[in-house]
Amino acid sequence: MIGHTQINSKDQESKAIEKLILNIHDQQVMIDYDIATLYGVETKVLNQAVKRNIDRFPDRFMFQLSKEEKDELVTNCDRFKKLKHSSSCPYAFTEQGIAMLSAILKSETAVSISIQIMDAFVAMRHILTNNAHILLELENIKKHLLETNVHQLDADRRIDELFEKFDLYKIKDKKGIFFQGQIFDAYAKFESFLQSATSSIILIDGYVDVTVLERLSKKNSNVKVEIYTSSNSRITQTDIDAFNAQYPTLTIKYTTAMHDRFLIIDNNSLLHIGASLKDLGKKCFAFEEMDSSLIPVILSRLCPNL
């Protein structure tokens, strides 16, 4: 609630900005009116600054809505009703365009707000990436309802069944195959493996990035995580420190001894994984549980020169 802590206030500000991000032309954008409001300037002042620096704003940074798109915007969003009788159409700015705005306006407010907006764009991308499968299924349900006029109670039942899928992917099956596109299914399965750990998780994966840390954040508290990866990994010390500040304890070690990916849970369960955790569901891959007696052998070979 408002006023409890500074963290809650910032979180609410971020959520408020996320609600201003629209999808137009299959791109995530913000409308000039909303940006100007956040900056504390008039829309015409913002657009005049853009026109003076128009060479910095190619089409991939900014585009103008058509009259039909403006009318749809006014119809669907109450805050744009004042645009109804405007003779000009609003401009939409992409994430790159908003970054450029902070450069031409140069005020402390513009820089600060632009950073918050770009953080909101990143958060929205994570939401869309992590929930692409379920969003597609929800969209299919919506289309089906429009076509067949299914009763509302039936719609509620189907949506409830869809969200119950989160509970279906338990660790009972110790081997299986995920096909290309089964991103949600694959991540749900492996999060259930991670959540089964009570003391430790060891991941051997040569291609680790921050999305893997997002998966590992679903572990139980007090479960230690150890990652063996390539020295070319995209994980930085800043990423490690940020993870440990919230989900201790993570350590990263580097090795060139392993080609395949392995997941070791509590030193008594060994999984062989056919894909990097950052690429689950992007292409067909298999996983299987192996004999746990191989765990000490694998661990002894991670750093053969030591």
pLDDT digits (tens, 9 = 90+) for 250-305: 999 999 888 899 999 999 999 999 988 888 878 888 889 899 999 999 999 886 55
Q: Which residue has the higher pLDDT, 119 or 167?
A: 119
Predicted confidence band of residue 198 (pLDDT cuts 50, 70, 90): very high
User: In this structure, what are the phi and psi dihedrals at residue 256, rounded to the nearest 5 degrees?
Assistant: -120, 10
Look at the domain 169-300 and name its fold.
Answer: Endonuclease; Chain A (3.30.870)
Predicted confidence band of residue 240 (pLDDT cuts 50, 70, 90): very high
Task: Return the number of other C-beta atoms located less than 10 Å from residue 163's C-beta.
Answer: 10
Average pLDDT in the chain: 80
Predicted confidence band of residue 18 (pLDDT cuts 50, 70, 90): confident
Whole-structure pTM value: 0.45
Lowest mean pLDDT among 47-51, 233-237, 278-282: 278-282
pLDDT of residue 251: 94
pLDDT of residue 154: 63
Q: Distance between alpha carbon 76 and the CA centroid of its chain, in Å?
A: 26
Tokens of 220: 């139980």
pLDDT of residue 66: 92
Q: How far apart are CA 134 and CA 160, in angstroms?
A: 12
pLDDT of residue 5: 36
Kindly state the percentage of the chain with pLDDT values over 90: 30
Domain boundaries, the chain: 6-129, 132-164, 169-300
Give the number of residues written for the chain: 306
pLDDT of residue 9: 52
